[in-house]
Amino acid sequence: MQRRTFLTGTLLGAALAAVPFHASTATAATAGSLTDLQKAIDGAAPGDQIVLADGTYTVPSGGAIRVSGKHGTADAPITIVAESRGGVVLRGERGFVFSDSSYVTVRDFAFRQSTTLEIPAGCTRIRLTRNDFGFTDAGSGFDWVVVRGDDVKIDRNHFHDKTTEGIFLVVDGPGSTAMAQRLHIFRNHFSDHSFAGDNGGESIRIGYSGRALSSADAVVEHNLFERCDGDPEAISVKSSDNTIRYNTVRDSRGGIVLRHGNNSRVEGNYLIGGDNGVRVYGNDHLVVNNYLGGLSDRALVIGSGTTRDHHTGETTEERRGNDACDRAVIVHNTLVGNARTLTGESRDHEPRSVIIADNLLVGSAGTLVAMGATTGFTWQSNILWGAAANGNIPSGGYRRVDPLLRQQADGIHRLSAGSPAINAATLAGQAVADDIDGQPRGGTRDIGADEYATSAPVRRPLTSADVGPDAS
């Protein structure tokens, strides 16, 4: 299909550089303005790329850039792009407003609005990529981006500098209980959320208490969180069947929290030098291959509950409460140098039937394991080390032996040759193909997040060069 490119601006040569090589450039529009942009969007067909000339544009009060009834295809999306990356600054109350649209991509804009950008339930396969989100924080707080549509991609954006209550990115769904399906959040940079309250300042929230039992199948991967201090939960999961993997949370108050819902996977994440690590509530989760290091509060919490299990028909207040953690598998994690390493809680309903196996727990002070009441736990082949006391871990569930960790150039402690953790993992029936570094586990696995290898890691803790608008 031949693609048309609408140029709303005067710098034709620069704009053509932003057009993919396979696109044609048959049509140029008049000088850049929001009026011309709206006309181009209204007339767009599958495959069209609409380029807005660089500049600062203020959307009039009560107005918006409307994307309504526009449908691209998988092979020919409609793309709305700034002339250069970050070169178009959108100000005013509202920016893009979507309705009844699909396969539309918005790329390279700098958003400075004062109300939420929403992808509603009637829109599918919308993509926000390589944008800079720095909405105004004037007045009361608000959530910056809210996703209710299915099959949305949020990738390679920078969300930054929020000082008031409100969330960078919220995933909800239609109605009061359903979830948006198959959202993919990847290669984004979330930084500098400094709201000082106790709740309501997450970087990402997937669901809400009323949506806890609904499956979302969201994947949150390869994102970097830095100085995300607006809430103890940087990634707050309040729905079911989600995957949180390969993210780096650095120097942040917030951690990764499975707050509501069941059957989610937390895998291969680095949480380094902040306050909180991973907290787990609900049923049938897998926490595997994570590195929790240098955290000043609780590194890993196996939560107790105000209720045993969330269920249909419970009251709003019951749903808001904590669901005790049951049947989680916590395997191949490394916890090093944290103030409080592995802890429980003391609500009415204790966690049950959790497997804690093949983990490394190393600390220089305090207590490594401080669980509250539990029922039916399996403790197996964990290694404890350091001056910290063992705590209340059962005697048959660990060995106290030096794992011979060595801190490498990226700050991560990995196994060295001769470590007693090598080939010592024993948990059967749990497929773990590779380690946190992306290196294969093989047939005989090592204890902890790292599988000993002499080759360079495939995955490392992310830096700002790996994420955001300029990421590959």
Task: Specify the pLDDT at position 19.
Answer: 39
Q: What is the 3-state secondary structure (H, E, C) of the chain?
A: CCCCEEEECCCHHHHHCCCCCCCCCCCCCCCCCHHHHHHHHHCCCCCCEEEECCEEEEECCCCCEEEECCECCCCCCEEEEECCCCCEEEEECCCEEEECCEEEEEECEEEEECCCEEECCCCEEEEEECCEECCCCCCCCCCCEEECCCCCEEECCEEEEECCCCCCEEECCCCCCCCCCCCEEECCEEEEECCCCCCCCCCEEEECHHHCCCECCCEEECCEEEEECCCCEEEEEECECCEEECCEEECCCCEEEEEECCCCEEECCEEECCCCCEEECCECCEEECCEEECCCCEEEEECCECECCCCCCCCHHHHHCCECCECCEEECCEEECCCEEEECCCCCECCECCEEECCEEECCCCEEEECCCCECCEEECEEEECCCEEECCCHHHEEECCCCEEECCCCCEEECCCCCCCCCCCCCCCCCCECCCCCECCCCCCCCCCCCCCCCCCCCCCCHHHCCCCCC
Distance CA 274, CA 296 (A): 6
Task: Specify the pLDDT at position 141.
Answer: 79
Distance CA 237, CA 303 (A): 14
Cross-strand partners of 266: 244, 287
CA-nearest of 103, 93, 106 to 124 is: 103
**With b meaning 16 or more CB within 10 Å and e meaning fewer, what string describes 320-346?**
bbbbbbbbbbbbbbbbbbbebbbbbbe
CA-nearest of 77, 42, 92, 86 to 151 is: 77
Cα 357 to chain centroid distance, Å, stands at: 25
pLDDT by position in tens, the chain (length 472): 444 454 544 333 333 334 343 343 434 333 389 999 999 999 999 999 999 999 999 999 999 999 999 999 999 999 999 999 999 999 999 999 999 999 999 999 999 999 999 999 999 999 999 999 999 986 667 999 999 999 999 999 999 999 999 999 999 999 999 999 999 999 999 999 999 988 899 999 999 999 999 999 999 999 999 999 999 999 999 999 999 999 999 999 999 999 999 999 999 999 999 999 999 999 999 999 999 999 999 999 999 999 998 888 888 888 888 999 999 999 999 999 999 999 999 999 999 999 999 999 999 999 999 999 999 999 999 999 999 999 999 999 999 999 999 999 999 999 999 999 999 999 998 889 999 999 999 999 999 999 999 999 999 999 999 999 999 9
Distance CA 270, CA 442 (A): 22
**pLDDT digits 0-9 by tens, 16-34:** 334 343 343 434 333 389 9
User: Quick check: 354 and 372 in contact, CB under 8 A?
Assistant: no
CA-nearest of 278, 296, 295 to 287 is: 278
Distance CA 92, CA 138 (A): 12
Task: Specify the pLDDT at position 20.
Answer: 40
Task: Specify the pLDDT at position 21.
Answer: 32
How many residues are there in the chain? 472
Task: Specify the pLDDT at position 11.
Answer: 37
Structure tokens belonging to residue 61: 């009060």
CA-nearest of 410, 406, 427, 409 to 418 is: 406
CATH code, 116-466: 2.160.20.10
User: Quick check: 95 and 59 in contact, CB under 8 A?
Assistant: yes
**pLDDT digits 0-9 by tens, 71-81:** 999 999 999 99
Where along the chain do its domains lie? 1-83, 116-466
Task: Specify the pLDDT at position 435.
Answer: 98
User: Quick check: 184 and 177 in contact, CB under 8 A?
Assistant: no
Largest distance between two CA atoms of the chain = 76
- List all residues 6 or more positions away from 379 whose beta carbon is below 8 Å from its beta carbon: 356, 357, 393, 394, 396, 397, 398
